[in-house]
Amino acid sequence: MKSAEEFLAELEMKSGADLGLDREPISAEVNTDSDVLGVIKNSGSSAELAKKIEAKAVALLAMREHGSKELQQKLLKKFPETTELLAEYSEQPGLVKQLVDDVLALCKQNNWQSDERYLEQAVRNYVAKGHGPQKIRQKLQQACYDSDLISAALDWDESDWTELAQTVLEKKYGDSQKPAEQKEQARRMRFLQSRGFSQSTIWKAFR
């Protein structure tokens, strides 16, 4: 497992100019009196398993930002609650989910994981790929639980989405003019719909 100092260094490399985000300073010291660490502090096999889950979470977050739902799913996939795992750690069913949730809370508490930070970066990346708000929302819902945070991240003016749709049209077809032929117009509209733009935005995108 990476040390706190190594994790801090990697997160600092990801922040700032590379992501265009301001990350709060991450303390290298963990508050061992926190209720979040209640299970992890326990002696015995559950603590051993918790440390393995924590190490995996740290490694994933060191590579890139993750939404809380996405990170939870990856950890549960890495540590499936099989009969063999429960037998190895001599623990009760439901332990892995409990430990994963404790580790997620620890990551949030120490600002190693932030849905707000993830959403800001993800929206910027998807917009750069020419995706509209409907498609972006679907992707964000796969990574985060908080629908209010997702809506806030997508709270752009309609004119901004229209401008993006025009840019997408120009990149694909060379211009954003409304085609004279009905068939061609329908084809371009379907293309924008597949990119996640609303019907009203699509009509406004045609100059």
pLDDT averaged over every residue in the chain: 82
Whole-prediction pTM value? Answer: 0.75
Instruction: Give the model confidence (pLDDT) of 88-115 as tens digits.
Output: 776 677 889 999 999 999 999 999 999 9
**Cβ neighbours of residue 144 closer than 8 Å, sequence gap 6 or more:** 67, 68, 69, 70, 115, 118, 119, 150
Domain residue ranges of the chain, discontinuous segments joined by +: 4-113, 117-153, 158-205
Instruction: Tell me the torsion sign for CA atoms 47, 49, 53, 58.
Output: positive
Please give the pLDDT value at position 91: 66
- pLDDT grade, residue 26 (50/70/90)? very low
- Whether the pLDDT of residue 73 is over 90: the answer is yes
Would you state the pLDDT for residue 83? 72
